């Protein structure tokens, strides 16, 4: 242990001594130069010498700025991922009760999944199929394209809120996708309705990836960021309506059960709202967390997310 603590102390002593040694070595030389070259004597009536121009600081080139921006984003994603993963550790008993209520709601919905699947197929039509083909991509590439467009527009127009909206929407989509694809889907391994003929079948650790819906998760992650950062009600209504269309599309095409899309909506909204609130609170030094709230309604329970 002595050897382990001695090296840092030596490094600290060397670091403190280095400026002092440099001063001692430079000072005599400066004194000798001052004796050999005394300052010029000002003569009356002579024009004062013009001060030397201040050198202009070098502007970093484009490549260095891009690398620095990428490095900052990687650090930000890492910090936010750790905060998101650790958020449940700070929950109190009441928070876990709320989360348990959401589990109860999803479990109850799973009991009705087969009936909802049959009803959706009975009402399926050419119109619903065309609508699905036109809007499903909002939970995939369109979501990232919209986020990127917002970010780019904010940079070009020097609009800070627009830029940060796109930036956080991109991050929310990526983090929500990672949670959905590489954690929840693998953990539950639920078969899709078309594979199980409408039955609820879980094979944990398998390649079955019905629960939660990835498209719905992505759509609500982006929509929640846009809605939270928008003023008034029109933009939030449009954002959540578009995300809801994606959820309905996934049930219509029999890619997911109703409980799959509801779980994706919860997950995406939680991630998006968490990031917006976290980045806003970082300025005041307070980090927030997402909370589930279960409230009684007539003939059952309802769940909502509180941030």
Cα dist from 296 to 98, 105, 113, 259, 303, whole Å: 12, 11, 22, 19, 9
pLDDT of residue 59: 63
208 φ, ψ (degrees, to nearest 5): -70, 130
pLDDT of residue 13: 44
As a whole number of angstroms, the distance between CA 232 and CA 235 comes to 7
pLDDT of residue 131: 93
- The pLDDT tens digits of the residues spanning 59-95 come to 667 777 778 878 888 899 999 999 999 988 988 888 7
pLDDT of residue 148: 93
Low-confidence stretches of the chain (pLDDT < 70) are: 1-60, 282-307
Cα dist from 231 to 79, 228, 239, whole Å: 28, 8, 13
pLDDT of residue 67: 84
């Amino acid at each position: 242990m002595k050897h382990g603590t001695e090296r840092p102390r030596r490094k600290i002593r060397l670091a403190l001594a280095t400026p002092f040694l440099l001063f001692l070595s430079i000072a005599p030389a400066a004194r000798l130069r001052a004796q050999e070259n005394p300052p010029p004597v000002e003569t009356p009536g002579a024009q004062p010498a013009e001060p030397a121009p201040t050198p202009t600081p070098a502007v970093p080139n484009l490549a260095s700025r891009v690398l620095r921006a990428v490095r900052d984003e990687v650090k930000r994603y890492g910090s936010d991922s750790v905060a998101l993963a650790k958020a449940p550790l700070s929950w109190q008993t009441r928070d876990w009760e709320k989360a348990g209520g959401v589990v109860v709601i999803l479990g109850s919905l799973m009991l009705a999944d087969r009936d909802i699947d049959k009803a959706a197929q009975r009402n399926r039509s050419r119109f619903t199929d065309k609508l699905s083909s036109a809007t499903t991509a909002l939970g995939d590439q369109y979501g990232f394209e919209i986020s990127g467009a917002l970010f780019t527009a904010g940079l070009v127009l020097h609009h800070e809120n627009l830029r940060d909206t796109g930036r956080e929407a991109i991050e929310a989509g990526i983090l929500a996708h990672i949670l959905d694809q590489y954690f929840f889907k693998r953990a539950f391994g639920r078969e899709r309705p078309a594979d199980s003929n409408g039955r609820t079948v879980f094979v944990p650790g398998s390649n079955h990836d019905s629960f939660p819906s990835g498209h719905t998760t992505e759509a609500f992650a982006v929509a929640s960021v846009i809605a939270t950062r928008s003023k008034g009600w029109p933009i939030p209504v449009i954002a959540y309506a578009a995300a809801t269309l994606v959820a309905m599309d996934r049930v219509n095409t029999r890619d997911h059960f109703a409980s799959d899309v509801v779980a994706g909506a919860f997950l995406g909204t939680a991630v998006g709202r968490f990031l917006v609130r976290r980045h806003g609170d970082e300025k005041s030094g307070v980090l927030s967390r997402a909370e589930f709230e279960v409230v009684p309604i007539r003939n059952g329970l309802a769940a909502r997310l509180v941030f």
